[in-house]
Structure 1
Amino acid sequence: MNKSFKHSLAFLLALSILFGLTACAKNDKVIQEEQKINERVEIPDTTETEAPKEENKEDNEAKEESVEIDYQKVRPNELGHIMIIMYHGIVESNPPSPYQRTVEGLKEDLKYLYENGYRPISMRDYIDNNISVEAGCTPVILTFDDGISSSFSLIEENGELKPTPDSAVDIMNRFYEEHPDFGRHAVFYINGDNDPFAGAGTFKERVEYLINNGYEVSNHTYSHAHLSKLGAEEIQEQIGKVDQMIKEALPGYILDSFSYPFGERPKEELRHLIEKGSYNSKEYSYKIGLREGPSGPFVPINHIKFDPLNVPRVRGSRGEEGDLGWYLEYYEKHPEYRYISDGNPNRIAIPKSEEENVNKDSLGDKELYVYTIED
């Protein structure tokens, strides 16, 4: 690559980062000059893909020449909280339970997240420790359980398959069209015995639509089973059936995040069967297991308290303690606990006060950048 082209790439990246700072770092709810970042917060325990695109050589070289941010202004904290939001069905009005959200409610959630510096990321990037939202922004993950038609289904219109109007995917697609800098990511966890995403098209056509449009699909057991009540063979059957079902529809697709039905985990001596097992002589493996609610702090994988088989989620509802509305208000009052990005996916940037909380074995080839906050 010639020198002038490299300089051009660096200049473009600088503009991108400056835009990210304008979009996210300007929010005084996210960045406050006098915050005390060394405070700790613990969330009480409660008992009850699209494949990444391969980067070319020029992209990698541009990242190596990345422009530095003003750390005292942005104050990144890449050990802060990343919420994983749990939705189910989408209804027109008066949801019968906190597991459902109205059409207007989901639109309000997306608008709030966008305007307050949150940016959706893929589960793939979360697991791979490849978070690349703009400097000053906070990543968030949207999940939808049960394969409900109101979260995603297709209709046929003029010979073309399209998302059902006012389904979650249709709402997210339209929001993305208006706000392309918000991104378009969500994970759909399905059961296998209920015709996932019932509507037009085959199961294969439905899941292909999802992954071809930036979404992901994964495993929620075959029959929404109570895993805490099952033995080893039954657990593997419940997981293995859906694992094979998705892989047959999407050859080569990687499945490695799992959603526990009801938030229930198997008995402790059987929990290893979430990570690895087999059914019908075919093996499966999963790296993380998602709970039903805030079973612990929403820490990222580089934190010493990250528990891969006990990953908490927050219900996508408003009005109850511990749901999405409650946490959004909490982070307005305590922005120091949010994950704040430095805009560089190759660097894990943290304030000095967080250094003792880094799991250095999880960093891989990432650079750990520790800086001191100047008061």
Structure 2
Amino acid sequence: MPLLHKIAGVVIVCAVILGLTLPGERRAREKAPTAERAGNTSGTADAATAAKASGTPAPGGSGTPSASATPTGPIPAAAPAAAAAKANELGQVPVLMYHRIVKKPEMSLDRSSKELYDELTRLAKGGYCPITAGEFAGGRFNVPAGKHPVVLTFDDSTPGHFALDASGRPQPDTAVAIIQRVAQENPGFRPTATFFLNKELFGLEDGPAGAGLKWLVQQGFELGNHTMTHPDLAGMSEQKVHEEIGGMEDRIVQLTGAHTATLAYPFGSVPRKEKWARGDGARYSFQGIFLAGWRPSPSPFAEEFDRWNIDRVRSEGKIKENDCTKYCSTAWLEYLDKNPDERYTSDGDPNTVTFPKTAEDRLDGTYRARARTY
């Protein structure tokens, strides 16, 4: 083999090794490893890009200031309360990914009702405040000063996520009932989550399914798109991708009268052309897309944030499977507890983006007008 070919091979191997991201390392973002079965009004990629350039909010977008209107002078000082709270709104945000919630786990991605209760209680005691996937993707959320946003996502719309009893209340041990219970026990813990839906819709027939979806929205939960049949989109044609995503969107709109804001890729698998998933005319048009993921997401105000490839973290203990000892929720939450300077901490003001001066180089320039430092 020619010497230059050998050298090229060594360079590629080194690049791959250096690209592996361990907890807390801030390297260039790559596509995360996919789980076995992964799991939201919205602007298209083109609309969002145009809005960013012009300063005009895209449909469902965050209305970020235009680059041309961005101040170039020193960033103003943060409010004393924000500095006292050690706000860092360029820090990492855990987007937790759940699948089946059952009394006794049978599959690798299952979590028991008790495990979900324990993890949510841990989040509440740790100062986390749930927000929806759509709020996060659009950078539009309000979390109290000193608290940390967390996004709870549930894939595949299985019966253990949601069901109502004869009196119209959530069935005990379902995800919705557990979320509401933790919120009642921990004032300030917002009872919300995003459910990425497949056609089964919690195992309900169309009539009950429509009533159930409307109940969820009325109670502050969010609905997202997860395709009709949960296929691997990577090997599908443009038409098939549109059918899978559009078919699910059609059904949700038929049952609720409203579109979803975000999509979660089944298996975390990206189509051959990402634009096929982002929008299809008036049929669907997303604000953000979520991967299957193995790491917290960058802040939506950080330069490295990519709304079309948002990282998630599998909910799991520190087990060997899929390297959960480093990359699943228990390990990551422990890491962020031990390294609070790397975690997103709110300044309590949704109109400003506060962070330490040392983090200024990570700010997305379109948010500079809202930036504050200390």
TM-score bucket (shorter structure): 0.7 to 0.9
Displacement after TM superposition at 1:95 (Å)? 4.3
The alignment status of 1:78 with 2:93, answered yes or no, reads: no
The alignment status of 1:359 with 2:364, answered yes or no, reads: yes
The one of 113, 124, 128 equivalent to 1:118 is 128
Query: What is the alpha-carbon distance in structure 1 between the residues aligned to residue 345 and residue 202 of structure 2?
Result: 36
Q: Which residue of 2 aligns with 1:139?
A: 149
**Inter-CA distance 45–272: structure 2 relative to 1 (3 Å threshold):** closer
The one of 260, 269, 281 equivalent to 2:265 is 260
Deviations 1:305-357 (A, max 9, x none): 11122111001111223110010111122111100101011110011111111
2:33–2:292: 8 Å Cα contact kept in structure 1? Answer: no
Query: What is the alpha-carbon distance in structure 1 between the residues aligned to residue 130 and residue 123 of structure 2?
Result: 9
Query: What is the alpha-carbon distance in structure 2 between the residues aligned to residue 330 and residue 87 of structure 1?
Result: 20
Q: Which residue of 2 aligns with 1:287?
A: 287
1:110 alignment partner AA: L
Query: What is the alpha-carbon distance in structure 1 between the residues aligned to residue 181 and residue 337 of structure 2?
Result: 27
Unaligned segments of structure 2, at least 5 residues? 1-23, 35-39, 43-77, 319-323
Displacement after TM superposition at 1:297 (Å)? 5.5
Query: What is the alpha-carbon distance in structure 2 between the residues aligned to residue 195 and residue 170 of structure 1?
Result: 17
The one of 320, 330, 355 equivalent to 1:350 is 355
Structure having the higher strand fraction is 1
Deviations 1:133-158 (A, max 9, x none): 1111110000000010001122323x
Query: What is the alpha-carbon distance in structure 2 between the residues aligned to residue 45 and residue 223 of structure 1?
Result: 23
Deviations 1:72-104 (A, max 9, x none): 43211101011110001111134421x221111
With the length of structure 1 as denominator, give the TM-score of the two structures. Answer: 0.76
The one of 209, 221, 224 equivalent to 1:218 is 224
1:154–1:201: 8 Å Cα contact kept in structure 2? Answer: no
SS at match of 2:361: helix
Q: Which residue of 1 aligns with 2:182?
A: 175
Query: What is the alpha-carbon distance in structure 2 between the residues aligned to residue 199 and residue 164 of structure 1?
Result: 17
Q: Which residue of 2 aligns with 1:310?
A: 309
The alignment status of 1:341 with 2:351, answered yes or no, reads: no
Query: What is the alpha-carbon distance in structure 1 between the residues aligned to residue 157 and residue 41 of structure 2?
Result: 17
1:41–1:337: 8 Å Cα contact kept in structure 2? Answer: no
Deviations 1:54-84 (A, max 9, x none): xxxxxxxxxxxxx944344321110101111
Query: What is the alpha-carbon distance in structure 2 between the residues aligned to residue 105 and residue 92 of structure 1?
Result: 9
SS at match of 1:369: strand
Displacement after TM superposition at 1:40 (Å)? 5.4
**Inter-CA distance 165–303: structure 2 relative to 1 (3 Å threshold):** same
SS at match of 2:283: strand
The one of 18, 28, 32 equivalent to 1:46 is 32
2:146 alignment partner AA: G
Name the count of aligned residue pairs: 304
Displacement after TM superposition at 1:201 (Å)? 5.7
Query: What is the alpha-carbon distance in structure 2 between the residues aligned to residue 146 and residue 274 of structure 1?
Result: 18
Q: How large is the RMSD of aligned CA atoms in angstroms?
A: 2.4
Unaligned segments of structure 1, at least 5 residues? 1-38, 52-66
Query: What is the alpha-carbon distance in structure 2 between the residues aligned to residue 198 and residue 354 of structure 1?
Result: 48
The one of 220, 234, 242 equivalent to 1:236 is 242
Query: What is the alpha-carbon distance in structure 2 between the residues aligned to residue 246 and residue 94 of structure 1?
Result: 29
Displacement after TM superposition at 1:127 (Å)? 2.8
**Inter-CA distance 266–83: structure 2 relative to 1 (3 Å threshold):** same
